[in-house]
Amino acid sequence: AQSVTQLGSHVSVSEGALVLLRCNYSSSVPPYLFWYVQYPNQGLQLLLKYTTGATLVKGINGFEAEFKKSETSFHLTKPSAHMSDAAEYFCAVSESVRSQGAQKLVFGQGTRLTINP
**Shortest Cβ 88–other proteins spacing (Å):** 6
Residue 85 binding other proteins, by CB under 8 A: no
Contact segment (CB under 8 A) with other proteins among 14-22, 66-74, 76-84, 93-101 equals 93-101
Asked if residue 27 lies in contact with residue 96, where contact means CB atoms within 8 angstroms, the answer is no
Nearer to other proteins, 73 or 90 (CB): 90
Site for other proteins in 19-58 (CB under 8 A): 32, 34, 36, 38, 41-46, 49, 51-52
Residue 63 binding other proteins, by CB under 8 A: no
Q: Which residues bind other proteins (CB under 8 A)?
A: 32, 34, 36, 38, 41-46, 49, 51-52, 88, 90, 94-97, 100-105, 107, 109-110
